[in-house]
Structure 1
Amino acid sequence: MVEKEGFAALVLRLRAEGISDLDLLTAVEQTPRSAFVPPQFADQAYSSRTIPIECGAFMEGADLALRLLDRLNVKPGQRVLDIGTGSGFMAAVLGRLTERVVSIDRYKTLVGDAQRRLEKLGIRNVVLRQADGSNGLPGEGTFDRILSTAAFPAMPRFYAEQLVSGGIFLAPLMVSEDTCMMVRLTKTGSRFEREDLFQVPYLPLVPKVASYL
């Protein structure tokens, strides 16, 4: 019951923002967010607040998660790279929308927990890896979409080689010491068109740290 009410309230808030993509909303409805948050936060699974998860990491609020997925504009048949698995919620929703998702996180615990949740939901086209996301994922070919939920201090170079022409890269970028902007880059040939979307709370990308957790 809480799940249904939470989802309905979220849909109303998103519609007010102009987000009404039926495929996206259906994918979210089929992916119960309460299964991805710590039990004590189950009643806040669909709220806009940031929720703490294992390893000192955070799960973005439902509104921000959906806003990012909407701006990523994923299509069926695409390959998506998700940098920062966290709870696994974004990867799970992406898995329902497209052909293949590779999701990476530096924390072994988070990858293991997310894997169990995906298996429980029967989502088989999402591959989870424990890896340092600061260089993307070399050796995996190119992706149609790349989403990062961890902030970069400067625009990373890896996306240029790992994104197909016409592909979209969405990532938080530190534009000043205390301001983080969600940026969307669209690749056309060898050029990139940059759009600054909106300010976001940030979790810096820490390379090569705490992989034992």
Structure 2
Amino acid sequence: MNDTLDEREAFASFLLRLRGKGIVARELIGAFEATPRHAFVPDRWRSAAWSEGMIPIECGEALEGPDLQAEIIGALAIEPGHRVLEVGSGSGFTAAVMSRLAARVVTVERYKTLTELARQRFEALGIVNAFVRQADGSQGLAAEGPFDRIVVWASFDSLPRNFTDQLASGGVMIAPIGPDEDVQTLAKLTKIGSRFEREDVGSVRFQPIVRSVAAAI
């Protein structure tokens, strides 16, 4: 059995899991199918690329499982003209997926190594509407806003009100809110006027957001 067949079977299993969770949006599934996940994981973990668990990547970080990524990206309800901000690039995989759905994706990463690797992957795949920045994403990226959608792959201890001004009217932000070392609530925050309307869409356990840029790596 060759690697390509293994990957197809693993992807088919992923689709079955999504269907079991009621995630059937054709555009979302097409975006995942068009993004070769194996290109975003270390070679030693390639066979586990489409499994539910997290995968270790460079800089001591980890890539969330594709099921959770699909749930969160699906909840964002990205439309073709949207401008998206992602905080926490990781391997660059989720930004690559979202670039198939949106007009423009800007993804922020604190580690230089991860920033460069994500940029190389985007270039290798011919993705021209996803841009990675090394920056402190805890405050967003006001200079490149406003954004129609914002997603943060790290938790806040309270409502991130400082992001309100970076969302367009009617824009949506998804971020975990809760204690650092416990289960957090995944909040969907819709901008109504100058405030957020909150809807809780799940529970996660993410690392707390770090308010700095990595100095060395």
Kindly report the root-mean-square deviation, in angstroms, between the aligned alpha carbons of the 2 structures.
1.2
Q: 1:45 to 1:177 in 2, by over 3 A?
A: closer
Q: Structure 2 CA distance, aligned partners of 1:125 and 1:209? A: 24
Contact 2:147 2:171 in 1 (8 A): yes
Q: Structure 2 CA distance, aligned partners of 1:212 and 1:46? A: 31
Q: Of 173, 178, 182, which aligns to 2:186?
A: 182
Q: Structure 1 CA distance, aligned partners of 2:102 and 2:163? A: 20
Q: Of 20, 35, 39, which aligns to 1:31?
A: 35
Cα deviation code 1:10-53 (max 9, x no counterpart): 11100110000101111110101111111111111101101111
1:178 is paired with a residue of what secondary structure? coil
Shift of 1:192: 1.7
TM-score when normalising by structure 1:
0.96
Hey, what does 1:172 align to over in structure 2?
176
Q: What amino acid is the match of 1:203?
A: Q
Does 1:202 find its partner at 2:206? yes
Does 1:92 find its partner at 2:96? yes
1:40 is paired with a residue of what secondary structure? helix
Q: 1:177 to 1:29 in 2, by over 3 A?
A: closer
Please list every run of at least 4 consecutive aligned residues from structure 1 whose deviation after the TM superposition is greater than 6 angstroms. Answer: none
Shift of 1:175: 4.8
Q: Structure 2 CA distance, aligned partners of 1:157 and 1:63? A: 28
Q: What amino acid is the match of 1:21?
A: A
Structure 1 unpaired stretches of 5+: none
Hey, what does 2:81 align to over in structure 1?
77
Structure 2 unpaired stretches of 5+: none
Bigger mean CA offset, 79-88 vs 146-155: 146-155
Does 1:163 find its partner at 2:167? yes
Q: Structure 2 CA distance, aligned partners of 1:138 and 1:202? A: 24
Structure-to-structure mapping, 1:123-142, within 5 angstroms: 123-142=127-146
Taking only the aligned residue pairs, the percentage that are identical comes to 50
2:144 is paired with a residue of what secondary structure? coil
Q: Structure 2 CA distance, aligned partners of 1:177 and 1:120? A: 37
Shift of 1:191: 2.9
Aligned length: 213
Hey, what does 2:65 align to over in structure 1?
61
Shift of 1:139: 1.4
Structure-to-structure mapping, 1:143-162, within 5 angstroms: 143-162=147-166
Shift of 1:195: 1.1
Shift of 1:118: 0.9
TM-score when normalising by structure 2:
0.95
